[in-house]
Amino acid sequence: MRVLLVEDDNLLGDGLCTGLSQHGFTVDWLRHGQAALHALKFESFDAVIFDLGLPDGDGTQVIKSYRDLGGRVPILVLTARGDISNKLALLDGGADDYLVKPADTRELAARLRVLLRREEGRRVPVLRFEDIEVDPTSYRVSVKDQPVELTHSEFKLLHALIRNPGMVLSRERLEEVLYGWNADVDSNAIQVHLHNVRRKIGPDVIRTIRGVGYAIGR
């Protein structure tokens, strides 16, 4: 799942990126609140980790602006301030959870998984297209009620396509889904994964729109 990390401390940010990647998250890292707000408007993330003391202001204001704009992605705040009134203000201000720094990566990963499960519970639990079912909570995929084993990358691609039926997603967009922004990706990686997905779920489900991208459905 793709997580946006907003943290201006290089050492801490670096540690969190590495740690969360090891727990299976795709992490994109920004250091400024306004850049985060911009990214949240135009990109899709499954969760956000917010440091409050940012170079361009207080993270609480950014979170409030994001919620005021209707943004619904779950937010976990990293705070150095441990007092209870601050925590309550955070939760009232739009955060879903908080951890006091220094945060243990294992606990952070566990808290994120809880937020993601809660969020998935709010969404349509199982995504369907024709006789294909994708369950984002349990990571199960089935075709004609028969379970299909997909790798983590294959699942992410199928999930991205099936949750946006009829929408054409470019190769670059799918690379972001799998690797985040900064990864140095082999230009064939997406084609290779899609080839494997098609082999497993059937050749005609995912359409290639030449020169544009890929889509499920019309």
d(CA 59, CA 166): 36
Closest residue to Ca ion: CB criterion: 53
CB of residue 206 to Ca ion, shortest distance in Å? 42
Nearer to Ca ion, 31 or 200 (CB): 31
CB of residue 62 to Ca ion, shortest distance in Å? 12
Q: Which residues contact 124 (CB under 8 A, 6 or more apart)?
A: none
d(CA 16, CA 135): 28
Nearer to Ca ion, 36 or 174 (CB): 36
Backbone CA torsion sign across 75, 98, 28, 34: positive
CB of residue 101 to Ca ion, shortest distance in Å? 9
Q: Take residue 114 and report the two structure tokens written for it.
A: 């809880």
Nearer to Ca ion, 57 or 165 (CB): 57
Site for Ca ion in 51-80 (CB under 5 A): 51, 53
Backbone CA torsion sign across 168, 172, 178, 181: negative
Nearer to Ca ion, 31 or 163 (CB): 31
Nearer to Ca ion, 53 or 71 (CB): 53
Contact letters for Ca ion, residues 7-46 (x by CB under 5 A): -x--------------------------------------
d(CA 134, CA 136): 6
In three-state secondary structure terms, 138 is coil
Residues engaged in binding Ca ion (CB under 5 A):
8, 51, 53
